[in-house]
Structure 1
Amino acid sequence: MSKKTRHEEHEEHADESWLLPYSDLMTLLVALFLVMYAMSATDAKKFEEMSQAFSNALNGGTGILDQRSATPTQSQLDQGKHDKMDNVVAENTGESDISKLRKQEQEDLEKLKKQFDQYIDKNGLSDLLSTKLNQSQLMITISDNALFASGQAEVKDESRQLAKSISSMLQQFPDYDVLVQGHTDNIPISNSSYSSNWDLSVDRALHFMKILLLNPNLNPVKFSPIGYGEYHPIAPNTTAAGRAKNRRVEVSILRKYQEATNTTTVVPPGK
């Protein structure tokens, strides 16, 4: 018996339409690698040309690649150099202006100190008043004997002229901030008016400041009273002479333009 040859059925040819998008995908991948290579290159001009050509191929010249790349163009580099030079010039100009202001301030405070010193010498007050100019302030120190009765904060009548004279000299430079600071020795106070040296020192600073501000040419906004009590001595409290030095009022005219290395606005009393 002859065997019938059985022919296996052949499958129909598969649809090969997928090859078209696959080839497009490969083309896009090749283009992507070319773009990535161009981005890693330092030639900004070639990258811009590649970006433009790729954008045109995809969608007629519009798309995200039309935006400027992270690699700066020559014009951007030139503009950056100009901006940096402008900033340097501006900084140098500003520093020069501040230096001029510091110099003028130094001249003003030296002039004011000279006037105070002349006033002290003329009136024989060297035992009661002194001046000191440092990197933070011009300080006028006044002994409590020149202003107050013992344990009191009211300025003595004969001392009010001293306060008025000081205010007249201060009015020449009205733009400076002024601190009026009260100090005492460490002997506890015992009277009906004050419960502590701190209270007394604050009240003394306030009373003296109020007399200064009787001068209408002074701006009260620029003035502040502070009381330190016994806590900022300039001499030992173990002797009568030391305690007398510690009982004082200080009028500080603060600098506005200090050196960059000087970060303290007010030098602690006695330092």
Structure 2
Amino acid sequence: MSRKRRKPDDINPNSWMDTYADTITLLLTFFILLYSFSTTDNEKLKLIAAALKGQITGIPMKLEDVPDIEDEEKEQGIGEKSPYQILLEDIQEIIDKNGLTDTVKIREEDAGVVLQLSESILFDLGKADLKADSTPVLEVISGLIPAIENEIMVQGHTDNIPISSGTYKSNWELSTSRAVNVVKYFIETKGFDPTRFSATGYGEYRPLVDNATEENRAINRRVDILIVQQKEIVKE
């Protein structure tokens, strides 16, 4: 007995939609995997998600319906500034307002925020006594200290030229004495808690740049005031 041929009318005209839906689902999975391994532009992600969802359901989708990744990141605290980034910006603003941009350099290290003061601001060459005109700079820095509870480390540095002064036998001693005198200013003149401060001299052994030129040596002759990153920043 011969088999009957299926009439064209018996074929479901929408059967191709099953294959189409499967293909689109696979594409959606592919794009999700791509996003999980990379950072995608927010606007592009919205367009992709909207387009894919619209194709699968057959219903146009508004971009507003796509979750805003930036909002989600804010809710999770992603991209927020750390207390030390805020502190860094606040200090820079104060330094700029007082016209000390060329006098006090600010940098961020793993240990905390560093205020870098060149030798010429604080001391005469080869000496450790604070100059009279160093007071305005130290006054500005003193104004920052009450707003924080962190330990403050004052670090003295020199260039690699052996000292010829009779008062100090080495750059170790000169750099240490300079750091001590800065700490004494904060404690004795400004009345800050001495348990928060420490003084260290590194001599020529922690240069910022090589000592090949006089300009570079002047950069290395400095005092660093390190606000140690260990306690929560307390703002008034």
Matched residue type, 1:135: D
Query: CA offsets per residue over residues 28-83 of structure 1, 9 Å max, x none?
Result: xxxxxxxxxxxxxxxxxxxxxxxxxxxxxxxxxxxxxxxxxxxxxxxxxxxxxxxx
Indicate if the aligned counterparts of 1:182 and 1:204 stay in contact, CA closer than 8 A. Answer: yes
Query: CA offsets per residue over residues 117-156 of structure 1, 9 Å max, x none?
Result: 1233233333321111233201111111111111111111
Query: CA offsets per residue over residues 185-241 of structure 1, 9 Å max, x none?
Result: 01111112111111100000000111122323x321011000000011111101011
Q: Any stretches of 5+ residues in structure 1 without a counterpart? A: 1-99, 259-271
Task: Provide TM-score, normalisation by structure 2.
Answer: 0.60
Query: 1:152 aligns to what?
Result: 127
Distance in 2 of aligned mates of 1:145 and 1:187:
16
1:79-158 alignment runs, 5 A limit = 106-107=82-83, 109-158=84-133
Q: CA deviation at 1:165?
A: 1.8
1:1-271 alignment runs, 5 A limit = 106-107=82-83, 109-173=84-148, 175-213=149-187, 214-216=189-191, 218-256=192-230
Instruction: State the Cα RMSD in Å.
Output: 2.3
Task: Provide TM-score, normalisation by structure 1.
Answer: 0.53
Percent identical pairs in the alignment equals 36
Q: CA deviation at 1:256?
A: 1.3
Indicate if the aligned counterparts of 1:184 and 1:197 stay in contact, CA closer than 8 A. Answer: yes
1:132 partner SS? strand
Q: Any stretches of 5+ residues in structure 2 without a counterpart? A: 1-76
Query: CA offsets per residue over residues 84-109 of structure 1, 9 Å max, x none?
Result: xxxxxxxxxxxxxxxx9xx89x32x3
Indicate if the aligned counterparts of 2:150 and 2:231 stay in contact, CA closer than 8 A. Answer: no
Matched residue type, 1:253: I
Distance in 2 of aligned mates of 1:150 and 1:201:
12
Distance in 1 of aligned mates of 2:231 and 2:184:
27
Distance in 2 of aligned mates of 1:210 and 1:116:
22
Distance in 2 of aligned mates of 1:193 and 1:225:
19
Q: CA deviation at 1:257?
A: 5.9
Distance in 2 of aligned mates of 1:195 and 1:145:
21
Indicate if the aligned counterparts of 1:168 and 1:215 stay in contact, CA closer than 8 A. Answer: no
1:151 partner SS? coil
Distance in 2 of aligned mates of 1:221 and 1:131:
24
Q: CA deviation at 1:168?
A: 1.8
1:130 partner SS? strand
1:202 partner SS? helix
Indicate if the aligned counterparts of 1:160 and 1:211 stay in contact, CA closer than 8 A. Answer: no
Answer 1 or 2: higher relative contact order, Cα 8 Å, separation at least 6.
2
Distance in 2 of aligned mates of 1:161 and 1:209:
16
Aligned pair in 2 of structure 1 residues 158, 257: CA closer, same or farther (>3 Å)?
Answer: closer
Distance in 1 of aligned mates of 2:215 and 2:99:
20
Matched residue type, 2:134: S
